Amino acid sequence: MAAIHLSNPVTDLYGVGPSAEEKLAKLDIYTIYDLIAFIPWRYDDWSKVGTIGSFDMTDRIDDSTGYDLSFRGTVMTNPSVNITSRKKPLTFFVSDGTGRIKLTFFNSPYLSGKFSVGDECFIHGQVTLFNGQMQMVNPYIEKAEKIADDALVRPVYHLTAGLTSSNISKWVSTALKLCGDELLSCIPLSIAEQKGFVSPKEAYMMAHFPASLEDARRAREQLAYEELILLGIGMKLYSSGHGVKEIAEQVIPSGPNAISRDLAARWNQIKSNLGFTLTSDQTAAFRDVQTDLMSTTPMNRLIQGDVGSGKTMVAALSMLITALMGKQAVLLAPTSVLATQHYKTISALMKNSGMEPVLLLGKTKASEKAEIKDKIAAGEAKVIIGTHALLTDDISFNDLALVIADEQHRFGVKQREKLLFKDEGKDGTIKSVHNLVMTATPIPRTLAMVIYGDMATSVIREKPKGRQEITTWFVNSKKSKAIEEMMSVKLAAGEQVYIVCAKIDKDETEAGSDYLVGEPVGGDESVTSVFDMKKQVDSMSNLSQYKSAVLYGSMKEKDKLETMERFIAGDIKILISTTVIEVGVDNPNANVMIIMDADRFGLSTLHQLRGRIGRGDKKSYCLLVSESRSELALSRMKMMCESSDGFELAEKDLELRGPGDFYGTRQHGIPTLRAANLYTDMKIATEATEAVNKIIEQGGEEAERLNESIKKMFELRFARKMEQL
């Protein structure tokens, strides 16, 4: 057999076939390294052994409530199958000297030959009452001599259907044996020594197969440290250009009389087209941008502001001032719906200014595209709006000075690089453009530092005046009659409604959406899909008279746009969609949003979705519908009902998510983390990256070692994924 390396596909491991490969891919695991890095998200501690007799079942709430118990006992009766019962359970009794308990197994006929009277066993499971008798159903059971005391901390992995924690354990164990030595440490020696860190291989051993919870905790800490260094430093090394001086054009001249009277008049025209005055946060953000545009150091600025806070207006003004100064500005939107909307807003702003924007989408007709590209190349088009279509190689700009990306996290890092249109100059400098990024997913400052490095931030906190608070309720579907009625009242008043579902149809979910790991209550089957909902709505006596339509990501662009336009025009009254509407859609007449299976979404997504309503002057309602009783889901719903502050919710979101949450990181446009928690480990992140930066700056042997191992490990672990993001 050929040697196996960290970069080999998981299928090179014995026992991982095509079906396992598919399941692992769902967990974002493709290579051996991915598998090793997939550390348990929690552990079951079976090491505290109890006794049957110490169990007091009198305070049980109901017969189905169970209590965890690990114990050692002796088999008292030979396993026998109850053939009169339909499910043919296998049962036998065990005793530990303090009491006896009945074990019941379904679908486990092999156990009958494995255990017999007198065997000493280790058992872990839930004790429940059945007909007044203590029993355990499908507990873990093993011969006592086979259970080492130090194997009683059991790893639990975030899983997808069809995989078990013991599958993962087995594969990881092999993977670590074969390639564990290829793992290079990316932590400075001085820090490793001070913190008592072990080699990466040992740390992974400890995380996957801990002897105690304390070992598991220490391993996770070390791996989080390493992961944050990899991300923080590796990202920088990877996105290159490091240390090279970059320059951009000075867009706005400084000094007295730099701006002609004619320009000033045109600028005033634009401002009067606004129709409102900017909020003070908008004014401050725009002033930040103007200051940046006066410099030849490329702007690298992030505008953070909640949905509806008026970021787009700041972006629009930034583009227009650039255009007035005779240079080109690009606005990139993640969807054609959004790009079209921006185009309309900006066209209105530019009325009577003597300039016109252009719009370039993937679906723009070839002849029209060619015309637009000519205009761009000739410098005739100065305000350019579009989607990814703008990133194709055959577009040449005349004098591009500013690139704005809306909802940045939707663009991958590599694409982001491309947007900056970096060009190598003669004198070793790199010619770049000013870069402005707008995001409505507020990123806590420390996290922004890790992801974007030294990006400057402007924050828009204050909302435009005249906005009404949105009332949010958490309800379960038993209230469907009441939900239906409230919808019909609003619809009768001429208003419109969004209904958001977690699935498109029976088995399709929206690509890239922020669903949580874990099984839905009542199984995946119970999740209401867009098409289920459409059927329901069309059959409800109060609602069927109103026109409804579906919207989801994989629809044809043309159909999506048309549906959106008809909804905004008021022709469609009820829009039933997936999270595609999360980004930027603006219909001030839609004041009700029903979010089905709300427990399936993260806080940030819920907040983004809710931001679609409350845009007009009418009272708005958001209904979160869920059957979930999980504590985590309930606390998210409670937060949503209590807060409308996106920043507060974002921080809470990170806090509620476990370490290495899959979707939380992806949402921010960074690759999956397995050990680090973006919220709780932020102090480590800053500490670790600062320490490494310092060493690398000083140079020397240790700097070289770190440089090399970080680059190598980053390539292996994250680089390919960055391309995919």
Residues that bind ligand ADP (CB under 6 A): 276, 278-279, 282, 305, 307-313, 440, 464, 586
667 binds, among Mg ion, ligand ADP, none (CB under 5 to 8 A by kind): none
Q: Would you say how long the chain is, in residues?
A: 725
Look up residue 31 and give its DSSP letter. Answer: B
Cβ 18 to ligand ADP shortest distance, Å: 44
Cβ 276 to Mg ion shortest distance, Å: 16
305 binds, among ligand ADP, Mg ion, none (CB under 5 to 8 A by kind): ligand ADP
Residue with smaller CB distance to Mg ion, 386 or 584: 584
Strands 90-95 and 120-130 turn out to be unpaired
282 binds, among Mg ion, ligand ADP, none (CB under 5 to 8 A by kind): ligand ADP
Residue 461 and residue 323 in contact, taking contact as beta carbons nearer than 8 Å: no
Strands 153-156 and 42-45 turn out to be antiparallel
Q: Which stretch binds Mg ion (CB under 5 A): 161-169, 262-270, 306-314, 513-521?
A: 306-314
Residue with smaller CB distance to Mg ion, 226 or 586: 586
285 binds, among ligand ADP, Mg ion, none (CB under 5 to 8 A by kind): none
DSSP, collapsed to helix, strand or coil, labels residue 320 as helix
β-bridge mates for residue 70, sequence order: 124
Cβ 584 to ligand ADP shortest distance, Å: 7
| DSSP H helices in 144-260 | 165-179, 189-195, 200-208, 213-238
Residue with smaller CB distance to ligand ADP, 29 or 320: 320
Cβ 606 to ligand ADP shortest distance, Å: 16
Cβ 395 to ligand ADP shortest distance, Å: 25
307 binds, among ligand ADP, Mg ion, none (CB under 5 to 8 A by kind): ligand ADP
Task: Report the distance separating Cα 125 and Cα 603, nearest Å.
Answer: 33
DSSP labels, 590-627: EEEEEETTGGGB-HHHHHHHHTTSS-SSS-EEEEEE--
696 binds, among ligand ADP, Mg ion, none (CB under 5 to 8 A by kind): none
Cβ 233 to Mg ion shortest distance, Å: 32
SS3 per residue for 86-122: CCCCEEEEEECCCCEEEEEECCCCCHHHHCCCCCEEE
Cβ 283 to ligand ADP shortest distance, Å: 9
Task: Report the distance separating Cα 369 and Cα 361, nearest Å.
Answer: 8
* Burial class (CB within 10 angstroms; exposed 0-12, middle 13-18, buried 19+) of 690: exposed
Q: Which stretch binds Mg ion (CB under 5 A): 311-319, 532-540, 549-557, 651-659?
A: 311-319
Measured CA to CA in angstroms, residue 457 lies from 247, 302, 307, 452, 453 at distances of 20, 5, 17, 10, 11
Residue with smaller CB distance to Mg ion, 135 or 312: 312
Radius of gyration (C-alpha) of the chain in whole angstroms: 30
CB neighbours of residue 522 within 10 Å: 11
Residue with token string 């009404």? 468
Residue with smaller CB distance to ligand ADP, 395 or 622: 622
Cβ 643 to ligand ADP shortest distance, Å: 18
Of 152, 122, 124, 144, nearest in space to 136 by CA: 124
Task: Report the distance separating Cα 465 and Cα 279, nearest Å.
Answer: 8
Cβ 70 to ligand ADP shortest distance, Å: 53
Of 33, 395, 79, 412, nearest in space to 223 by CA: 33
Cβ 312 to Mg ion shortest distance, Å: 4
Residue with smaller CB distance to Mg ion, 152 or 313: 313
Cβ 642 to ligand ADP shortest distance, Å: 22
Measured CA to CA in angstroms, residue 83 lies from 86, 90, 166, 251, 449 at distances of 7, 9, 30, 84, 64
Residue with smaller CB distance to ligand ADP, 309 or 441: 309
Q: Which stretch binds Mg ion (CB under 5 A): 81-89, 102-110, 154-162, 304-312?
A: 304-312
Cβ 349 to ligand ADP shortest distance, Å: 10
308 binds, among Mg ion, ligand ADP, none (CB under 5 to 8 A by kind): ligand ADP
Handedness of CA 707, 713, 715, 719 (dihedral sign): negative
232 binds, among Mg ion, ligand ADP, none (CB under 5 to 8 A by kind): none
Residue with smaller CB distance to ligand ADP, 309 or 513: 309
Binding mask 315-344 vs Mg ion (x if CB under 5 A, - otherwise)?
------------------------------
Q: How many residues bind Mg ion (CB under 5 A)?
A: 2
Of 376, 337, 356, nearest in space to 586 by CA: 337
Which residue's beta carbon is nearest to the bound Mg ion?
312
353 binds, among Mg ion, ligand ADP, none (CB under 5 to 8 A by kind): none
Task: Report the distance separating Cα 389 and Cα 557, nearest Å.
Answer: 13
Task: Report the distance separating Cα 499 and Cα 552, nearest Å.
Answer: 12
DSSP, collapsed to helix, strand or coil, labels residue 577 as strand
C-alpha 263: how far from chain center? 44
Look up residue 515 and give its DSSP letter. Answer: B
Residue with smaller CB distance to ligand ADP, 271 or 619: 271
Residue with smaller CB distance to ligand ADP, 73 or 310: 310
Q: Which stretch binds Mg ion (CB under 5 A): 160-168, 308-316, 366-374, 553-561?
A: 308-316
Residue with smaller CB distance to ligand ADP, 308 or 442: 308
Residue with smaller CB distance to ligand ADP, 66 or 588: 588
Residue with smaller CB distance to ligand ADP, 40 or 442: 442
310 binds, among Mg ion, ligand ADP, none (CB under 5 to 8 A by kind): ligand ADP
313 binds, among ligand ADP, Mg ion, none (CB under 5 to 8 A by kind): ligand ADP
Cβ 279 to ligand ADP shortest distance, Å: 5
Residues 557-596 close enough to bind Mg ion by CB under 5 A:
584
Q: Which two tokens stand for residue 552?
A: 């989801």
Residue with smaller CB distance to Mg ion, 304 or 591: 304
DSSP labels, 244-268: S-EE----S--STT-S-HHHHHHHH
Residue with smaller CB distance to ligand ADP, 12 or 462: 462
Cβ 345 to ligand ADP shortest distance, Å: 7
* Burial class (CB within 10 angstroms; exposed 0-12, middle 13-18, buried 19+) of 677: buried
Of 643, 613, 641, 642, nearest in space to 625 by CA: 641
Task: Report the distance separating Cα 624 and Cα 613, nearest Å.
Answer: 14
Cβ 310 to ligand ADP shortest distance, Å: 3
Q: Does 312 help bind Mg ion (rule: CB under 5 A)?
A: yes
In the complex, which residues of this chain contact Mg ion (CB under 5 A)? Answer: 312, 584
